[in-house]
Amino acid sequence: MKKNPANNIESHLHESRVFKPHAAFSKTSLIRDMATYRRLHRESIERPQVFWKRASGELRWLKKWTKLLEWKPPFAKWFLGGKINVSDNCLDRHIEGPRRNKAAIIWEGEPGEKRTITYQQLHRDVCRFANVLLRNKIKKGDRVIIYMPMIPEAAVAMLACARIGAVHSVVFGGFSADSIRDRIADSGATAVITADGGYRRGTIVPLKHNVDAALKGSKAIKRVIVFRRAHNDIHIEEGRDVWWHRELEYVDANCPAAALDSEDPLFILYTSGSTGKPKGILHTTAGYLLGVALTTKYVFDLKEADVFWCTADVGWVTGHSYTVYGALANGATSLMYEGAPNWPDPDRFWRIIADYGVTVFYTAPTAIRAFIKWGDTWVNKHDLSSLRLLGSVGEPINPEAWMWYHRVVGASRCPIVDTWWQTETGSIMISPMPGATPCKPGTATLPFFGVDAAVVDDNGREVPADVGGKLVIRKPWPSMLRTIYGDKPRYRKQYWGDFKGWYTTGDGARRDKDGYFWIVGRIDDVLNVAGHRLGTSEVESALVSHESVAEAAVVGRPDELKGQAVVAFVTLKTGAKPSGELREKIRSHVAHSIGAIAKPDDIRFSEALPKTRSGKIMRRLLKDIASGNSITGDTTTLEDFSVLTRLRDDEA
């Protein structure tokens, strides 16, 4: 164990497995070796003018920028003087060449419909819908809420806003009327784009109905545009609501992309993380687009013939940055699927991969752990040989989950990119280069170009190898958030308050002797056991490495003797039964894997864990339960409230 003089986070997990990229993969990849990665990374940090001048040539500018960066901490402006349009970059420039008839979006609805939309068709759809927006008096700078199912029209709506300079704020289709109402109020939106309904687990989600409930008693929204998807009965409010398909009858497909300023806002996306009131994260045009375009290209090592499937809903930043903007900016084929991974059976994803020959598959650890729980047979039923690269995002991927993903989904053939980033960072910040970086299960490895990441103690000093501290970014980067919409003081305090000029991520991390970054959990969740500070992720990974455990969350409970006792909430794999004996076995397993200090004092078996809609475990709620307190704070982002009730009932 490392000495801990400065009250740093300790590290006990030691992963010795290393997976080098296969020579055949490296040979055709964009970054083929570590020397190339290091040279480019060094250039991006030491000579940003040179690096970004070249990189920005990947985009089409309507007017070239003149100044790279204006940095008045914590406010940054990138590519000053430039004029650009995101939708022009994602569509127009591709239809001028051989990609004109290439599939831009391949879509499958949950009930099974299939659609393929070429770049030319998507361009036409976006232009026409942009004209619908203009016809409905939506103009540059206006905020527009998009509350849609995962259908191509969600992307059309986003790109149409981008085309005319309206600022979209996508609200995840699983959120309630209250969430829509809050976001309308905070963003000052004047229009909503929605659908009658969408499909999820065989039932229709009544989207328009939720919008009606959200708008009750408010005059803020002047226009609601409704796409007909599910054909469920809805109410149309005369004078306010219009049908998407009817509006199309009045417009043509001629809609030049507006020449926007590099720093014109592109979107606001609300994020709560796992605590507190949602924050409207504001992203702007050029820097964001360049960040997503470049990371999509290099991290996923894009090839012209790829079928790229990022499974995230467009309601999350991952859906914005990779399903829509990053993929399309690169002229890639992006797959979208509307529904649940286990509908009608737990092999839906594998079926889709086989049906469309998906080559790059990007999903979240929460999904991977669910697949493990459902069993390998569902995966093995399908031919997944088209896959060449796998990705993970959203949480630390436990080494055992990584190994399963590698072995069962990737047939020990596909590299895995474990990508660390945040809604706030806009694009991937730490990730392997799949053709170059030797991977170790559980680490996002090394920073992307332009990212100056470090792990520091409370005084801002870099900590030695294998000692945990705060993950910070020491330089601004193009796709960074520009502010919290309408709340500069909160922006300053939350992200830039710890160290002058450095961005605080809120995550705890350590670097190993190779300089790889290991995320150990959110700083707010760090446990303090008998004076030892432990990140949640290592203890959870130790739990998940037990053969019966599917998923685990650990939290601290006040303890007179130790300060905090470790409480683990554990869900078991299909077939495993909770028992006192299993509890003891799991406790010993943790003690054996990472040391007695992390041995859970208490293990609670549970059928499910409370998660946000995007799949992150809400440890804050578990802390309340573990301490026997009533639940405090916001629970509106909770995916399934009954999980909490069941957890508390288990207690009784």
Sites of contact with ligand PRX (CB under 6 A): 271, 317-318, 393-396, 418-423, 444, 505-507, 519, 522, 614
CB nearer ligand PRX, residue 146 or residue 519 = 519
d(CA 564, CA 601): 10
Question: Which residue is associated with the tokens 């998507």?
Answer: 122
Nearest distance in Å: CB 289, ligand PRX: 17
User: In terms of CB distance, is 131 or 274 closer to ligand PRX?
Assistant: 274
Judged by beta carbon, residue 163 or residue 183, the one nearer ligand PRX is 183
d(CA 576, CA 125): 50
Shortest distance, position 422 Cβ to ligand PRX, whole Å: 4
Cβ closer to ligand PRX: 108 or 418?
418
Give the bridge partners for 167, in sequence order. 143
The smaller minimum CB distance to ligand PRX, of residues 330 and 419, is found at 419
Question: Closest separation between CB of residue 521 and ligand PRX, Å?
Answer: 7
Q: Which is nearer to ligand PRX, 244 or 516 (CB)?
A: 516
- Residue 98 DSSP one-character state: G
- Residue 381 Cβ, how far from ligand PRX at the closest point, in Å? 28
For residue 610, the SS3 value is coil
**Whole-number Å distance between alpha carbons of 201 and 291:** 34
Token representation of residue 80: 């000053």
Q: How far is the CB of 418 from ligand PRX (least distance, A)?
A: 5
Identity of the residue, 262 or 614, whose beta carbon is nearer to ligand PRX in the bound complex = 614
Nearer to ligand PRX, 117 or 417 (CB): 417
Q: Can you tell me the distance from the alpha carbon of 583 to that of 224, in angstroms, rounded to the nearest whole number?
A: 53
Going by C-alpha positions, the residue among 332, 342, 338 that lies closest to residue 315 is: 338
Answer whether the bond into residue 74 is a cis peptide, omega within 30°: yes
Closest CB to ligand PRX belongs to which residue? Answer: 423
The smaller minimum CB distance to ligand PRX, of residues 263 and 507, is found at 507
> How far is the C-alpha of 180 from the C-alpha of 190, rounded, in Å?
12
Q: Which is nearer to ligand PRX, 90 or 393 (CB)?
A: 393
Rounded to whole angstroms, what are the CA distances from 627 to 401, 465, 612, 621?
A: 29, 34, 21, 10
Shortest distance, position 172 Cβ to ligand PRX, whole Å: 11
d(CA 458, CA 502): 13
CA pair distance 239, 144, nearest whole angstrom: 18
Smallest gap from residue 449 Cβ to ligand PRX (A): 17
Token readout for 151 is 């259908």
Nearer to ligand PRX, 155 or 393 (CB): 393
* End-to-end CA, the chain: 38
Please state the closest distance from residue 467 (CB atom) to ligand PRX, in A.
18
Is there a contact between 13 and 400 (Cβ–Cβ < 8 Å)? no
**What pairs with residue 77 in β-bridges?**
70
Tell me, what DSSP letter sits at residue 68?
Answer: E
Beta carbon of residue 633, minimum distance to ligand PRX (angstroms, whole number): 18
What is the Cβ-side half-sphere exposure of residue 21, based on CA atoms within 13 angstroms?
25
Show the DSSP H helices in 407-544 as ranges: 488-496, 536-544
Q: Which tokens go with 568?
A: 């683990």
Q: Are strands 9-10 and 532-534 parallel, antiparallel or unpaired?
A: parallel
| Nearer residue to ligand PRX within complex by CB, 511 or 522 | 522
Cα separation values, 475 from 50, 73, 456, Å: 16, 10, 14
- CB of 648: closest distance to ligand PRX in angstroms? 26
Residue 466's alpha-carbon distances to 513, 519, 560, in angstroms, are 7, 11, 29
Q: What minimum distance in Å lies between the beta carbon of 614 and ligand PRX?
A: 6
The distance of closest approach from Cβ of residue 516 to ligand PRX in the complex, given in angstroms and rounded to an integer, is: 12
